[in-house]
Amino acid sequence: MPNANNDFLAPQSERTSQPTSALSQVQRRAVGELLRVSPVADDLARRFQEAGFTLALVGGSVRDALLGRLGNDLDFTTDARPEDVLRIVRPWADAVWEVGIAFGTVGCKKDSFDIEVTTYRSEAYDRSSRKPEVSYGDSIEQDLVRRDFTVNAMAVALPQKEFIDPHNGLEDLAARVLRTPGTPEESFSDDPLRMMRAARFAAQLDFEVAEDVVSAMKAMAERIDIVSAERVRDELNKLLLGAHPRKGLRLLVDTGIADRVLPELPALRLESDEHHRHKDVYEHSLTVLEQAIDLEEDGPDLVLRLAALLHDIGKPKTRRFESDGRVSFHHHEVVGAKMTKKRMTALKYSNDMIKDVSLLVELHLRFHGYGTGEWTDSAVRRYVRDAGPQLRRLHKLTRSDCTTRNKRKANALSRAYDGLEERIARLQEQEELDSIRPDLDGNDIMQILGVAPGPAVGKAYKYLLELRLENGPMERDQAVAALQEWWATQS
């Protein structure tokens, strides 16, 4: 970035509550990050300037630059209306999309950068509507005051590199605290989803949330009901995929917002788990989530994280106080799988994700029947068959579900699961467990039995599959004989 230096990132206000070294550190990071994107950003800014408009890098892009984590997604704001933005970017960009144009946003791609240019705007919710009302603004100050948090209400005007920070976002960034540009009540009234964003940013950035913001979230929790399920789901996903999801989830529960968007989670707080090793199942579930994250291999895994968070939500409905003083939760995994499906459906998750997460919740206790390794090969085959493509995630979820403080017991469980995984690996090598099928296919069955396609073929296939699971692979003549013997009993 030509002529870039630390001075251009000095906050406009002289007031500062942070040591100079803390501010200068984030300033130096910002310069380095902005240098990297300067050629594309400056080129685009000059085009807007030549057309008589202004352009500024804004919001999360400035925040992430200051944190030293700016990616290739760049957000800009401008006084140009969407039709003018289209006219400017179309000859310049590699691709342009208009999916957000109703909200004043034009998207485009240039080289390796994904860019969004949004017209200065303000938006608010009508109490009877699930969609924000959008109106365009005339100044960047007007645009910044409507943003969710001060750390997202900073901008760098281009190409002159003027740092704009009317709400002291730089100070809050250095202090790692989330505040709103105006009052929290005004901000959350404009867009109630910002209450969930507070929890999401706490999880993503490990920031603290200002007390007045938390108080407003508690007082206005019911306002989240007006937000569409899709927007709530997307914020929940971003929270769960953050580096510190426990922090964000706690905030949702403590403010009462979780009671309205994920009530199964706070319902766990009063339910002691059957091991009596944790304060409650709520704390246990958050610990399982963190332990599952530690086992991830290829980056954040939303399916695994959802399954870890929800795996015990069936316990409140199945809790029983036994005559010997114990507390039981019989079949909570089955009940929990049904509850998971219902909640995820309400939040508009895809059918595939609902199926995968529900299956993991349903199977998360299956291993505990393994004991000291007395499972037959048939039981191991069924374990693999039932898990299907989710077997690797089931391994991680099951291991994560051990939160006992008893090291001897924890080590014994770990060794037992090591043994199960070794047995699975041996059987997979011998029998191709990942694609368990009967030794005869549908065409073989029809030819051998002399029947046409119909229910009888399906019943025969199912019988042969059970034989395959029980006995392992069979020679063809053995399979034919078994099929004919079974068919004789059917007639």
Which of 238, 65, 54, 56 has its CA nearest to residue 151?
A: 65
| SS3 assignment for 4-47 | CCHHHHCCCCCCCCCCHHHHHHHHHHHHHHHHHHHHHHHHHHHH
Please tell me whether residue 48 adopts helix, strand or coil conformation.
helix
Among the residue ranges 85-89, 120-124, 145-149, the one predicted with the least confidence is 120-124
- Asked if the model's pLDDT at residue 123 lies above 80, the reply is no
pLDDT interval class at 43 (50, 70, 90): very high
What is the reported pLDDT for 10?
44
Tell the CATH topology of 6-169: Beta Polymerase; domain 2 (3.30.460)
What is the reported pLDDT for 435?
56
Going from the C-alpha of 224 to that of each of 188, 196, 259, 262, the distances in angstroms are: 9, 8, 11, 12
- Across the chain, mean pLDDT equals 85
Residues 6+ apart with CB under 8 A from 324: none
Among the residue ranges 9-23, 31-45, 52-66, the one predicted with the least confidence is 9-23
Domain ranges of the chain: 6-169, 313-435, 442-490
Mean pLDDT of 60-69: 88
What is the reported pLDDT for 278?
41
Answer yes or no: are the C-beta atoms of 214 and 251 closer than 8 Å.
Answer: yes
CA distance 144 to 150: 9
Q: What is the pLDDT of residues 413-431, one digit of tens each?
A: 888 888 888 888 877 766 5
Q: What is the pLDDT of residues 257-284, one digit of tens each?
A: 999 999 999 999 864 544 444 448 999 9
Q: Is the dihedral of CA 203, 209, 213, 218 positive or negative?
A: positive
CA distance 199 to 196: 5
CA distance 155 to 172: 15
- Asked if the model's pLDDT at residue 339 lies above 50, the reply is yes
Which of 97, 58, 103, 51 has its CA nearest to residue 77?
A: 58
Please tell me whether residue 228 adopts helix, strand or coil conformation.
coil
